[in-house]
Structure 1
């Protein structure tokens, strides 16, 4: 079973976010609550934590801007 990672909507007016940096490499085991990437919005930067434990599979490049809801990776 896998958990899909998407760009979260952190504010009511937010329509997109910039995946500033992956903090963990693809294929790495992560723990629930571990910071896995940094998301920048027009107001602030936020550290995003892994919702579950497993192996991170990255599907989106850091430094790019994506609409909210875009799949950027998964944890298997």
Structure 2
């Protein structure tokens, strides 16, 4: 079963975040807990971990773009 990767809400007032960069490439095998991407919000940049182990399928790859909390940006199959 595939696991969705969505922009998380990292702060109480956070409504959107900037996908700074992917730290794993499309098609890469990733493990749960591995850093997947860097996400910027109004106060900091944080690395977001993989929620599951499997093959990464990147849906949105535009680094530097802002996306709303909950936006689907990838899948782990």
Normalised TM-score (structure 1):
0.97
Unpaired stretches in structure 2, ≥5 consecutive residues: none
Residue 44 of structure 2 is aligned to residue 44 of structure 1 = yes
List, as ranges, runs of 4+ consecutive aligned residues in structure 1 with deviation greater than 2 Å.
Answer: none
Unpaired stretches in structure 1, ≥5 consecutive residues: none
Provide the aligned C-alpha RMSD in A.
Answer: 0.6
Normalised TM-score (structure 2):
0.96
Residue 55 of structure 2 is aligned to residue 66 of structure 1 = no
Offset of residue 63 of structure 1 = 1.3
Offset of residue 66 of structure 1 = 0.2
State the number of aligned residues: 76
d(CA) in 2 for partners of 1:16, 1:9: 8
